[in-house]
Amino acid sequence: MSAVQKHTGSAAAGPYGSPYHVPVLCQAVVEGLITHPAGCYVDATIGGGGHAAALLDALAPEGRVIGIDRDPEALTVVRRRLAEAIAAGRLQLVQGNFADLEGLLDELGVPSIDGLLLDLGVSSHQLDDAMRGFSFRAEGPLDMRMDPSSPGPTAAQLLERWSAYELADVLHRYGEEPRARKLARAIYQARPIRTTAELAEVVRREVPAREVTKTLARVFQALRIAVNDELRVLERVLEAATRRVRPGGRLAVLSYHSLEDRRVKRFLRYGNLEGKPVRDFYGRLVSPWRPLTRRAIRPSADEVVVNPRARSARLRIAERVAEPAFENP
Ligand SMILES: C[S@@+](CC[C@H](N)C(=O)[O-])C[C@H]1O[C@@H](n2cnc3c(N)ncnc32)[C@H](O)[C@@H]1O
């Protein structure tokens, strides 16, 4: 019997899936991350606790997990789901932004860790809850804050604040939207826009029917990234990982779109955010990270059938090296 209480929301979702969220590439994450079964691991995006539950099961009884999430609601769910592990002192939960990883670890008195997991983006529950405003498929307030207790701004407030030019820039940079200027003009003129349905309606009027869904996905992605400053916080946690993951420890990152994946790939390959190769005296690439996944791991077709939200996932794993002097692939 597992030490951790498992949720069996649906048999097809695997032992760690729950009605809240089905963890993606769960086995690959656990196998790729754990090098020291009695070690200390951080799940910096604990969400519904699926990956954390699998990690706790795979670790030795002395092994422990620190779970972080920006969303207080996720922590309430995990507190219930993984109550046994919390009571046993194997799981500690912290509400916060993983960009502040070092400050959060300092508060817990943890100088270094054996592994860090980042499962980026939003959970299925956040997406399905119309009141959070993440989805163009359900009507709700245009909010999109991962931490609804934060002062904001919400997506609706940003739309009020930005010029058409600034909005076009956001749609172009964070959504890679080819019609950024046209859409920005239309959205700007239609303001105030307070709900997901109002925004979706403006976009629908501007693009051919066959392109509506993809365009909406890009527009909503762009706004969500802006509201939560997602690319900057990713960069901050990657740099923190270099300082806090012990040599021999691992970093596993699941990303769901190319803007994230490109940054992760570059960082794990070169050890810096600029993607600048650093070479030693002999011209060999040096980096504090040794990528263990030459190509990103993708979910199998079977996993995508069971969990369609896994379809865009890419998992990259790297090992922290003590002396950054080796041939990097
Ligand atoms: C894809 S879900 C994680 C699901 C989780 N792996 C599981 O098995 O249930 C992503 C979670 O990360 C959280 N999150 C996103 N950005 C964050 C950040 N900067 N700091 C802390 N949590 C964040 C979201 O609130 C969400 O709960």
Domain boundaries defined on the chain: 11-125+231-320, 148-228
Q: Residue 207 C-alpha to ligand 1 middle, in angstroms? A: 32
Residue 177, both tokens? 């939207």
Largest CA distance in the chain: 60
Q: What are the residues whose beta carbons fall under 8 Å from the beta carbon of 201, sequence distance 6 or more? A: none
Residue in 201, 203, 200 with CA at minimum distance from that of residue 180: 203
Q: Which atom of ligand 1 is nearest to the CA of 46?
A: 5
Q: Which atom of ligand 1 is nearest to the CA of 50?
A: 8
SS3 74: helix
- Hey, which of 146, 225, 309 would you mutate to test ligand 1's pocket, going by the most ligand atoms within 8 Å of its Cβ? 146
Each residue of 263-294: b (16+ CB within 10 Å) or e? bbbbbbbbbbeeeeeeeeeeeebbbbbbbbbe
Q: Given this model, what pLDDT does residue 305 score?
A: 96
Backbone angles phi, psi at 141, to 5 degrees: -65, 145
The answer to whether the beta carbons of residues 184 and 171 sit under 8 Å apart is yes
246: left (phi over 0), alpha (psi -120 to 50) or beta: beta
CATH number for the region 11-125+231-320 comes to 3.40.50.150
Q: Which atom of ligand 1 is nearest to the CA of 230?
A: 19
Separation of alpha carbons 113 and 237, rounded Å: 14
Q: Given this model, what pLDDT does residue 285 score?
A: 87
Pocket of ligand 1 (CB under 6 A): 21, 23, 44-45, 47-51, 68-71, 74, 97-99, 119, 121-123, 146, 233
CATH number for the region 148-228 comes to 1.10.150.170
Q: Which atom of ligand 1 is nearest to the CA of 69?
A: 22
Q: Residue 72 C-alpha to ligand 1 middle, in angstroms? A: 11
Q: Residue 44 C-alpha to ligand 1 middle, in angstroms? A: 7
Please report, for residues 33, 55, 138, 177, 192, the alpha-carbon distance to residue 264 in angstroms, rounded to integers and kept in the order given.
16, 22, 31, 21, 36
Residue 323, both tokens? 């002396």
Nearest 5°: the CA angle 136, 189, 148 is 40
Domains 11-125+231-320 and 148-228 share a fold: no
Q: Given this model, what pLDDT does residue 210 score?
A: 97
Q: What residue type is assigned to position 255 of the chain?
A: S
Instruction: Give me the sign of the Cα torsion angle 182, 185, 190, 194.
Output: positive
Q: Given this model, what pLDDT does residue 322 score?
A: 87
Q: Given this model, what pLDDT does residue 9 score?
A: 38
- Hey, which of 69, 73, 128 would you mutate to test ligand 1's pocket, going by the most ligand atoms within 8 Å of its Cβ? 69
- Give 230: exposed, middle or buried? Use CB within 10 Å, 0-12, 13-18, 19+: buried
Q: Residue 327 C-alpha to ligand 1 middle, in angstroms? A: 33
Bridge partners of 314?
Answer: 255
Q: Whose CA is nearest to atom 9 of ligand 1?
A: 48
Residue 37, both tokens? 């079964």
Q: What residue type is assigned to position 118 of the chain?
A: L
pTM listed for this prediction: 0.94
Q: How crowded is residue 109: how many other Cβ atoms within 10 Å of its Cβ?
A: 6
Our CA dihedral for 55, 60, 62, 65, rounded to 10 degrees, sits at -10
Q: Whose CA is nearest to atom 13 of ligand 1?
A: 45
In the chain, which stretches have pLDDT less than 50? 1-12, 325, 329
Q: Given this model, what pLDDT does residue 323 score?
A: 66
Q: What residue type is assigned to position 174 of the chain?
A: Y
Q: Whose CA is nearest to atom 14 of ligand 1?
A: 45
Q: Residue 248 C-alpha to ligand 1 middle, in angstroms? A: 25
Q: Whose CA is nearest to atom 4 of ligand 1?
A: 47
